[in-house]
Amino acid sequence: MTSHDLRQQLASLTTEAFRPELADIDRLSTLDIARLMNGEDAGVPAAVAVQLPRIATAIDAVAERMARGGRLIYAGAGTAGRLGVLDASECPPTFNTDPARVVGLIAGGPEAMVTSVEGAEDSAELAHRDLDALKPTPEDTVVGISASGRTPYAIGAVEHARALGALTIGLACNEHSALAAAAEHGIEVVVGPELITGSTRLKAGTAQKLVLNMLSTITMIRLGKTYGNLMVDVRASNDKLRARSRRIVSLATGASDEEIERALTESGGEVKHAILTLLADVDGPTAARLLEESGGHLRAALAHAGR
């Protein structure tokens, strides 16, 4: 593709559109620019709302596969790739998932998290190699993320994953995108032109973050990683999270501090097990058995215990 062709292609994208009414933005006061940005950001949730039925359908498909042992794999370049890596990295401490269950791939590798790796986003072959290193299976889901919807790395990841039988999702911020077309589930959140022309780390980045929040969080809810709105699979890896664990057990059971400490000690710090011992009045081994038989779903384990 020539540089002229690329310029023409970019000019056709909503995310790259120039807004002449903002040509003098640098002459405005800081407060006025902040108000403009805030007003722009306010429209992002509405754009996400339009895609909720597609998002929900995709989540149900992801959760079905993950319940059978599949993985959730994000793939993107630049800001989109960083958002995928961020969402993946937050699943282990929040939901106590194995780090290998939710994975973020970014064009150019870990170095690209903090430094631009020139040309990496233009390589579909690089996406193929990165995916092949993970040995995708039909139980896995690959989510290509690209604001423009035309990034070769994201499209290459989705096309390669689909050829291998994996579930595929394409998340873009332009209509009729090549990425959405390549995926089994296309999600196009059209947030409109950016405040700074082509700076898709702004509204497009915010939209992508909101959708990824939904994909991972609701999938984990479907997998039994919460009890109501409590993070009962939280990993207590520091003082703050240990205090949060105690509070979660308290909110779920209403037990005394002494009972909570005893239950957490008996369960080895596992919040879900501690709650079950208290609510079902069972010992630690019985709680572990009930949870295993219930696929880790606390509500189901309580029902099996007659509670």
Q: Which of 305, 234, 299 is nearest to 270 (CA)?
A: 234
What pLDDT does 20 receive? 85
Q: Give the position of tokens 């990496």.
A: 120
Tokens of residue 200, six digits = 């898709």
Q: Phi/psi of residue 70, each to 5°? A: -70, 170
Residue 254 gets the label, from left (phi > 0), alpha (psi -120 to 50) or beta, of: left
Q: Which of 40, 121, 159, 270 is catalytic?
A: 121
What's the whole-number mean pLDDT along residues 274-302? 94
Low-confidence winner among 15-29, 54-68, 73-87, 276-290 (lowest mean pLDDT): 15-29
What pLDDT does 55 receive? 98
What pLDDT does 8 receive? 55
What's the whole-number mean pLDDT along residues 225-235? 91
Residue pair 150/180 in contact (Cβ under 8 Å)? The answer is no
For the whole prediction, is pTM greater than 0.85?
yes
The crossing angle, in degrees rounded to 10, of helices 257-266 and 239-253 is 110
Q: What is the mean pLDDT of the chain?
A: 92
Summarised one tens digit per residue, pLDDT across range 250-277 is 999 999 999 999 999 888 889 999 999 9
Q: Phi/psi of residue 223, each to 5°? A: -85, 5
Which one-letter DSSP state was computed for residue 230?
B
User: Is the CA virtual torsion 128, 129, 130, 136 positive or negative?
Assistant: positive
Low-confidence winner among 24-28, 66-70, 303-307 (lowest mean pLDDT): 303-307
CA 45 → CA 50, 111, 225, 235, distances in Å? 9, 31, 25, 30
Fold exhibited by the domain 239-304: Helicase, Ruva Protein; domain 3 (1.10.8)
CATH homologous superfamily, domain 10-222: Glucose-6-phosphate isomerase like protein; domain 1 (3.40.50.10490)
CA 276 → CA 97, 156, 246, distances in Å? 20, 45, 14
Q: What are the residue boundaries of the structural domains of the chain, listed by start? A: 10-222, 239-304
Tokens of residue 163, six digits = 């050829």
> Among this protein's residues, is 90 annotated catalytic?
yes
Q: Which of 64, 90, 184, 266 is catalytic?
A: 90
| CATH fold match for the domains 10-222 and 239-304 | no
Residue pair 18/193 in contact (Cβ under 8 Å)? The answer is yes
Is 264 buried (19+), middle (13-18) or exposed (0-12) by CB count in 10 A?
Answer: buried
CB atoms within 10 A of CB 263: 24
